[in-house]
Amino acid sequence: MIQRNLFRGFIFFICFLFYNQVLAQRKNDAVHLKNGSIIRGKLVESVDSTTVSIQSGNNLWVFEKSEIEIVQKEFISMNPKMVRSNKYETDFMASLHGVGSRFYLGLSISQGMYLHTDKLLAAVGVGFEYYEWGVFPLVADVRYYPFSRKKTPFIGFRSGYSFSFEPKYEEWGTLYKRKGGSTYDISFGIRNNFRERSAVLLSVGFKHQYLEQVRQNNITLHELYVTQYNYNHISFNFGIIF
């Protein structure tokens, strides 16, 4: 019951952060030129069909269409330091999680994009972890960065399903079916940017993984019993963003 309430509370918190960030955004026109320059402002009606005009502050810019790579809408924060245009991000994570003297290792890679702001990242990830048997987690990953600076704390949430790497095996006339199960984790950490698009992540959190093993008679396929595994661990995570 406590885990379920914690899960629901965290989902509500993430939705609240996302709603707050969307309210803080406004749309902006952006003209991307072939020479690499970007002019942001508001498109105005041009005098002819061969040019594009954009009002940027007190300046009116007029460009020939042959000079333009693309014209698009952007979401821009009220803080001009937080402008991003469809920025994607890939990260590789290594995780050590466990309780007492027993620890498990997990590896994952995820691809995500910022949702209209540089503070909220949504991603999809896959990985490999080993418990009593190996599993492949497929998860949705959400991270919130409260500050736009080189070093910033963050809060992260991952949830999904882990598929069994060893679905079944036979031993002494008994068939063992190893099934995957739901997984989620909550983490708090620090992000340190060392290049424009690269960073290191360090975090600690709580991780839950459910797995199940079914024993059957190999001849009658009658279920003998089911073993349920509920792993609730403290996790230590290290990641590289590139």
Please give the Cα distance from 231 to 210 (Å, whole number). Answer: 6
Residue 139: pLDDT over 80: yes
When pLDDT is averaged across residues 164-191 and rounded to a whole number, the result is 84
Which one-letter amino acid corresponds to residue 62?
Answer: V
When pLDDT is averaged across residues 124-148 and rounded to a whole number, the result is 88
Q: Which residues contact 175 (CB under 8 A, 6 or more apart)?
A: 168, 169, 215, 216, 217, 218, 221
Percent helix, strand, coil in the chain, to 5, is 10, 65, 20
Residue 156: pLDDT over 50: yes
- Specify the higher pLDDT residue, 186 or 167: 186
Q: What is the pTM of this model?
A: 0.61
Q: Residue 66 — pLDDT band, cuts 50, 70, 90?
A: confident
Please give the Cα distance from 231 to 182 (Å, whole number). Answer: 11
Length of the chain as a residue count: 242
How far from the centroid of its chain's Cα atoms is residue 228's Cα? Answer: 28
Going from N- to C-terminal start, the domains of the chain cover 25-77, 85-241
Residue 224: pLDDT over 80: no
> 116's torsion region: left (phi>0), alpha (psi -120 to 50) or beta?
left
* Fold held by 85-241: Porin (2.40.160)
Residue 92: pLDDT over 60: yes
* Highest-scoring range by mean pLDDT, 50-59, 66-75, 189-198, 227-236: 227-236
What is residue 82's predicted lDDT score, i.e. its pLDDT?
40
Judged by average pLDDT, the poorest of 8-12, 68-72, 129-133, 173-177 is 8-12
Judged by average pLDDT, the poorest of 135-139, 170-174, 177-181, 185-189 is 170-174
Please check whether residue 192 is in contact with residue 200, taking contact to mean a CB–CB distance below 8 angstroms.
yes
Please check whether residue 113 is in contact with residue 124, taking contact to mean a CB–CB distance below 8 angstroms.
no
Q: Residue 99 — pLDDT band, cuts 50, 70, 90?
A: low
Do the strands 25-33 and 102-114 form a parallel or antiparallel pair, or are they unpaired? unpaired
* Fold held by 25-77: SH3 type barrels. (2.30.30)
Q: Residue 5 — pLDDT band, cuts 50, 70, 90?
A: very low
Please give the Cα distance from 67 to 56 (Å, whole number). Answer: 18
Residue 81: pLDDT over 80: no
What is residue 105's predicted lDDT score, i.e. its pLDDT?
84
* Highest-scoring range by mean pLDDT, 91-105, 129-143, 185-199: 129-143
Judged by average pLDDT, the poorest of 59-68, 85-94, 130-139 is 85-94
Copy the structure tokens of residue 229.
Answer: 């595994």
